[in-house]
A and B are shown apart, each in its own frame.
Chain A
Amino acid sequence: MTTERHEAASPTRPESTVLGEVTGMLQEVLGEYGFTDAEITMGTRFHDDLELESIDLVTLSTALREHYGDAVNLAAFIADRGLEEIIALTVGDLVHHVVASLSAEPAAEAV
């Protein structure tokens, strides 16, 4: 990565970029079910719209870590909200979590 990180105002990855990246990961997970042309937007619900079950979110979590590093921790994000909240989770919730985690990272390292 060539971008220089600034402590006071770290460069924020745009939501649209993260949505594109997350969409790619989701399509890979969905591909296992032969379900490849699903339209994915910020409002898409993992459970109701994509019929993902919790083990699919484990796969997604692994993909997120491989792509973004340890700063993005979906396990802890969901654990803080409670297991039953998985049902209401949207792609937008995840995108916001990724953006927030990545922009918080340099500050956390500075502590």
Chain B
Amino acid sequence: MAKIRVGELDVHVQRMAAAGPPASDPPPLVVLVHGLLIDSLASYYFSLGPFFAERGMDVLMYDLRGHGRTGRPAAGYRLEDFVSDLDGLLDALEEDRPAHVVGNSFGGAIAYGLAASRPDRVRSVIAIESEPPVKSWAEKMAEGLTGEEGGLVVREVRAWLAEDPERNARPFQLAGRLLDGTTLGQDIPRSRVLGDTLADIRCPVFALYGADSKLSGQAGHLSATLPHCRTVILPDQGHSVLVERTKETADLILDWLQDDIHTPVKAG
């Protein structure tokens, strides 16, 4: 198991090198960023990771701070901390290719955050069921994490477990330790946010939503606001796009990446 030291943190990293003919020379770098609390790089390791590697791309996956096999510091969980971990990880790996950064849910906020703070590092943002980290995002995160009964996220996870008592409780226990044992719940709503005009996001963005999720209503606003944006809404689908519609998600992102590979890089 590969651990990479980034600042004070040991980051669990899994890489899958491009197999077969590379999709471009050098191969595109695809970074996969997972979501909050009951998530880890495993969501990609058994889905999009091998899919993109087999199609000639270099894939980088890592566990966010507090998650999976990465360290769990007691404090330091604002969005900018997560963004700076990713920036520092790419430094530590001496990676100078601008990356296609795929983010699922909260992972998408990290992808947008890196695109805004390090535009040289991000070739495109692929946001699965996620939204740019603007003021309204922080307000929603506050409700989700620190509202009554531990917040909406916690209530939803409890309901999900209650549906089927046979469900494995271990990921939930880890999420509980993260909420109870660290400042994550208080920190995330206090994150530095982007301006509502999204002027700092200049790279191409591909946003994928489930039609039945609360986020899909943002698709129109996003494509009207950003200079280069594609949105796709999957019908009859809620928030769990990556898990429940894995194949379509993989194919749609592949189309996006291949269009980018075949588009000449514009000067400036």
Contact = CB atoms under 8 A, between A and B. Distances in A.
Interface of A: 47-48, 51, 53-55, 57-59, 61-62, 73, 75-76, 78-79, 82-84, 86
A54 B46 contact: yes
B69 A73 contact: no
A47 B41 contact: no
16 contacts: A48-B166, A51-B168, A51-B169, A53-B171, A54-B40, A55-B41, A57-B46, A58-B68, A59-B1, A73-B50, A75-B16, A75-B49, A75-B50, A82-B246, A83-B43, A84-B243
Interface residues of B, number: 26
B1 A62 contact: yes
Contact of B46 (A47, A51, A59, A83): A83
B50 A76 contact: yes
A62 B2 CA distance: 9
Given A75-B49, A76-B50, A55 B69 contact: yes
Nearest to A32: B69
Nearest to B68: A55
B13 to A, nearest CB: 11
A75 B45 contact: yes
A83 B149 CA distance: 31
Given A57-B46, A83-B246, 18 more contacts: A48-B166, A53-B170, A54-B40, A54-B45, A54-B46, A55-B41, A58-B14, A58-B69, A62-B1, A62-B14, A73-B50, A75-B45, A75-B50, A79-B46, A82-B247, A83-B47, A83-B243, A86-B46
